[in-house]
Structure 1
Amino acid sequence: MKPTMETAAEENTEQSQERKGCFECCIKCLGGVPYASLVATILCFSGVALFCGCGHVALAGTVAILEQHFSTNTSDHASLSDVIQLMQYVIYGIASFFFLYGIILLAEGFYTTSAVKELHGEFKTTACGRCISGMFVFLTYVLGVAWLGVFGFSAVPVFMYYNIWSTCEVIKSPQTNGTAGVEQICVDIRQYGIIPWNAFPGKICGSALENICNTNEFYMSYHLFIVACAGAGATVIALLIYMMATTYNYAVLKFKSREDCCTKF
């Protein structure tokens, strides 16, 4: 009877040790998760998807509005159509690049965080590993500055569409006096530089302008540009988080390498 009780006690002890070991393993694994990089990756994927998807459709809608209302002569907006088509291809490239870059940065965050937590980071604490981490820090800074420019550029069509929409609201306003007053309210799209000054008609006034604002193309393109601009802003925030995370990890790795070097002597 006694050996049986001792055996049961030993089995319970082994089971408790296994549970404790499993719990410690889970805690250790969770400690190696780069939460900042994970959040930044999700935000980056979402922002790039919104910018590329909505921007592509909004550009197509803008071309349709220009061709139907502001520039009926094909030769006047031929260059603009080519530029917009090129921008759509660039959007495809941006989406593909950042999908791959986000995965690489997330993987780099896992390895670097593991090295910082002293889990399994022998490579990351070497000179080659620190060089790769520094390269990602520099590249992320460059991309962050570039996306600030993209964010500013994406705000331009939002500003243009807002001016057109606000002009239509003035036309609809009860304070606008008579038909003659309405027809004097115009929008000249040529002032934004997207079509040449000799484009015909280039300027739309009164009820014709109000009809443009009521079309599905205008309504959809306006809101898609707003979402695309918001997506670009989200991508900028994601890259800022990447900058802070990669810079911090790189600094810690460099400090640890110096500490290890001094410990050897």
Structure 2
Amino acid sequence: MGLLECCARCLIGAPFASLVATGLCFFGVALFCGCGHEALTGTEQLIETYFSKNYQDYEFLIDVIHGFQYFIYGTAAFFFLYGALLLAEGFYTTGAVRQIFGDYRTTICGKGLSATVTGGPKGRGARGPQRAHSWQRVCHCLGKWLGHPDKFVGITYVLTIIWLLVFACSAVPVYIYFNTWTTCQSIANPTKTSASIGTLCADARMYGVLPWNAFPGKVCGSNLLSICKTSEFQMTFHLFIAAFVGAAATLVSLLTFIIAATYNFAVLKLMGRGTKF
């Protein structure tokens, strides 16, 4: 079997669901972590500049923001590694499922690779089998880790539950900034509201961002409108929206991983192959 034919078989047996899920996972995590990190930095600057002049009022908030930023670093590293592992699991289990149904009789690390490596000139025939044996040993070791789709389903299910909480938390700052932006629209168009402009405020203390004894803690009227027109506010608002979209994309990718891995595991169990193949 030639190299091109082996690659063609690999593409035929590619786990497209896992490929789509991996792409969504990488895109979502990059968007969530990158935009979330910058949005938290922008929030810190807005609080320091407009809502409190006393460092002790927002000292705890800064510690929380820095903690979330470190959490973002760890989340990015973990999901990029786990996404690659799930993609490898998708290739491995999809190859086994296709082999059962007869659509993919040559596995990625099986006869096709051996034939490609050993089919060289006679002068290099002595080294061919040794290379094939080395590749097969690597694939055998990977198979011990990747041959358990039931474990991947369980781990991904737990991660999905955890990420649902992250997704819900990412909606909170979007809600706060949207309320502030809506208040600014009411100030900019006083004819659309019956309230006095001076009573329209954005109170950071109301959302738990600052303690109740923080001063001033809130900004009202034309001062709030001027804040909403700044590039810092607009950029931070849109960054939080992008982070929320990234969290949603990551959640969809995890659900896709669960569906694909569950299907492969169910087929293997129904065909009597168990969890090891």
1:162 CA drift (Å): 0.4
Q: Does residue 33 in structure 1 map to residue 49 in structure 2?
A: no
Q: Does residue 62 in structure 1 map to residue 78 in structure 2?
A: no
Residue 202 of structure 2 aligns to a residue whose secondary structure is: strand
Equivalent residue number for residue 8 of structure 1: none
Residue 88 of structure 2 aligns to a residue whose secondary structure is: helix
1:144 CA drift (Å): 1.0
Equivalent residue number for residue 170 of structure 1: 186
- 2:88, 2:4 → 1: CA distance? 24
Moved more, 52-61 or 144-153: 144-153
Equivalent residue number for residue 106 of structure 1: 87
1:216 CA drift (Å): 1.3
Moved more, 37-46 or 112-121: 112-121
1:217 CA drift (Å): 1.1
Name which of 214, 218, 226 aligns with 2:229.
Answer: 214
Letter of the 1:48 counterpart: V
Q: Does residue 145 in structure 1 map to residue 161 in structure 2?
A: yes
1:46 CA drift (Å): 0.2
- 1:81, 1:258 → 2: CA distance? 53
Name which of 223, 228, 239 aligns with 1:224.
Answer: 239
- 1:231, 1:250 → 2: CA distance? 28
CA contact (8 A) 1:47 1:232 kept: yes
Moved more, 202-211 or 26-35: 26-35
Equivalent residue number for residue 263 of structure 1: none
- 2:63, 2:193 → 1: CA distance? 42
1:185 CA drift (Å): 1.5
Cα-to-partner distance string for 1:45-95 (whole Å, 9 max, x where unaligned): 000000000000000000110111112110011011001001001100000
Name which of 191, 202, 206 aligns with 1:191.
Answer: 206
Residue 191 of structure 2 aligns to a residue whose secondary structure is: coil
- 1:258, 1:29 → 2: CA distance? 22
Equivalent residue number for residue 5 of structure 1: none
Report which of the two structures shows the higher radius of gyration computed on alpha carbons: 1
Residue 209 of structure 2 aligns to a residue whose secondary structure is: coil
Name which of 161, 166, 171 aligns with 2:177.
Answer: 161
1:30 CA drift (Å): 2.4
- 2:223, 2:84 → 1: CA distance? 49
Query: Normalised by the size of structure 1, how large is the TM-score?
Result: 0.82
The percent identity for this pair of structures is 54
C-alpha distance 191-46 of structure 1, shift in aligned 2 (>3 A): same
Equivalent residue number for residue 133 of structure 2: none
Give aligned pairs, total. Answer: 237
Gaps of 5+ in 1: 1-17, 260-265
- 1:177, 1:258 → 2: CA distance? 68
Q: CA RMSD in A?
A: 2.5
Q: Does residue 241 in structure 1 map to residue 256 in structure 2?
A: yes
1:257 CA drift (Å): 2.9
C-alpha distance 130-57 of structure 1, shift in aligned 2 (>3 A): closer
Letter of the 1:62 counterpart: T
- 2:163, 2:94 → 1: CA distance? 26
- 2:164, 2:54 → 1: CA distance? 35
- 1:258, 1:114 → 2: CA distance? 13
Cα-to-partner distance string for 1:179-218 (whole Å, 9 max, x where unaligned): x932221121111011100011011111110111011111
Name which of 181, 206, 209 aligns with 2:196.
Answer: 181
C-alpha distance 23-84 of structure 1, shift in aligned 2 (>3 A): closer
Q: Does residue 136 in structure 1 map to residue 144 in structure 2?
A: no
Q: Does residue 75 in structure 1 map to residue 90 in structure 2?
A: no
CA contact (8 A) 1:176 1:182 kept: no
Gaps of 5+ in 2: 100-105, 111-138
C-alpha distance 108-181 of structure 1, shift in aligned 2 (>3 A): same
